Each structure stands twice: as C-alpha cells, then as structure tokens.
Amino acid sequence: MHTARHPQKPRGYDAMPLDTARGSLLVRVLVVTLASALGALVGLVAGLLDWIDGADPAGAVLTGGGAGAGALALALALASVLARGL
C-alpha cells in the first residue's frame, strides 16, 4: 500500500540513473557523432566551393578534408571546454 507521502515508483525506474557511467558514455558518443557530422558537412561545403571556383577534383578533396578535420577538432575542443563548465 502506498501513501501520498511515499508514491510508488514505476517498475524499472531505478534501473539506470542518469548519472551513471553508461549515461555519460552515451552523451560522449552523441557529442562525437554530432561533431563528426558537422566536420563532414563543413568539409563537403568547402570542397564543393573550391571545386566550383575552378580547382581540380584532387585539390578540392584536399581542401574539403582539411576544412573538415579543422572543424572536427574545433567542435571537439569546444565540447570539451563546455563539458568542464568553462
């Protein structure tokens, strides 16, 4: 019997609290995934803009790869600083 002072929790409520290591791992995986997607998008746009500007395809790929790697590094560094709380 439960009372108003002690409401009954649903089944599985305490199965995985949000402050466990598994929850933290999930957040890290999501952050890396989003940063990688951002880096790929920036690299794609930079490569396309370079190719449209008249660069040969190999040069456009190198430009896009460099821009994507730089964007990925910047996004991961920013996420690390924000995770520490500035």
Q: Please tell me what DSSP assigns to residue 10.
A: P
Q: What is the pLDDT of residue 27?
A: 87
Band (24; pLDDT cuts 50, 70, 90): confident
Question: Does residue 29 lie within any of the structural domains?
Answer: no
Residue 60 in tokens: 């456009």
Q: Which structural domain, as residue segments, surrounds residue 77?
A: 36-84
Rounded percentage of the chain residues whose pLDDT exceeds 90:
60
Cα–Cα distances in angstroms (integers) from residue 59 to residues 20, 25, 51, 62, in the given order? 46, 37, 8, 5
Question: Does residue 16 lie within any of the structural domains?
Answer: no
Question: Does residue 4 lie within any of the structural domains?
Answer: no
| Residue 25 CA neighbour count, 13 Å, CB half | 5
45 has pLDDT over 80: yes
Question: Does residue 23 lie within any of the structural domains?
Answer: no
Question: Does residue 78 lie within any of the structural domains?
Answer: yes
Question: Does residue 22 lie within any of the structural domains?
Answer: no
The domain total for the chain is 1
Question: Does residue 70 lie within any of the structural domains?
Answer: yes
Q: What is the pLDDT of residue 48?
A: 97
